[in-house]
Structure 1
Amino acid sequence: MESSTSEKHFQFFSNSKCEYFPCHSTNDPENFNCLFCYCPLYALGDKCGGNFTYIAGGIKDCSGCLIPHRREGYDYIIGKYGEIKKLAQKTN
């Protein structure tokens, strides 16, 4: 029997003692996931699916995105690993 996301403890980690916690504005700090402190989807640029903007100099600003910090974000991020893998593959 497959357990629900909330029962998979490896998918959630909260570090409420971190000096930056929470690093994004949230109304639900008890469910703020720190597992993906640095979002692996950043490298996908405009194909990450998150709520981001580009600021001066073409820098991606993800401060409005909570995908990696929500409990259900784990499955979304894992689903994007194929795209991340393609970015990292060696091309000759």
Structure 2
Amino acid sequence: MEGYKGYSNFKCKFFPCHEVNNVETFNCMFCYCPLYLLKEDCGGDFVYLKNRIKDCSHCIKTHGENSYEFVQSKMKEVIEKAKKGN
């Protein structure tokens, strides 16, 4: 993994925050998912709780080997939503 595309914070007390097969490729760069506000369009594996709160605790889409490329491919949508105040 290229250095600017991610890192693994092995010293974090929550590492890894999701169950994965290979912690060596776990990317911590998007610890707080920048795609959260995309609701159904984020591309990740999430559910809505009864109170309509988005639960992403089982999603590892932003933590894999190609997570940097995936997040970058969705950032235009994030910026547009933020501009609209959605």
| TM-score of the pair, normalised by structure 1 | 0.86
Q: CA RMSD in A?
A: 1.3
- Bigger radius of gyration: 1
Within 5 A, what are the aligned runs for 1:7-86? 8-86=2-80
- Structure 2 gap segments, 5+ residues each: none
| Residue 27 (structure 1) shift | 1.5
Contact 1:36 1:69 in 2 (8 A): yes
Q: What percentage of residue pairs aligned between the two structures are identical?
A: 45
SS of the residue aligned with 1:45? helix
Distance 2:60 2:27 in 1: 9
| Residue 90 (structure 1) shift | 5.2
- Structure 1 gap segments, 5+ residues each: 1-5
| TM-score of the pair, normalised by structure 2 | 0.91
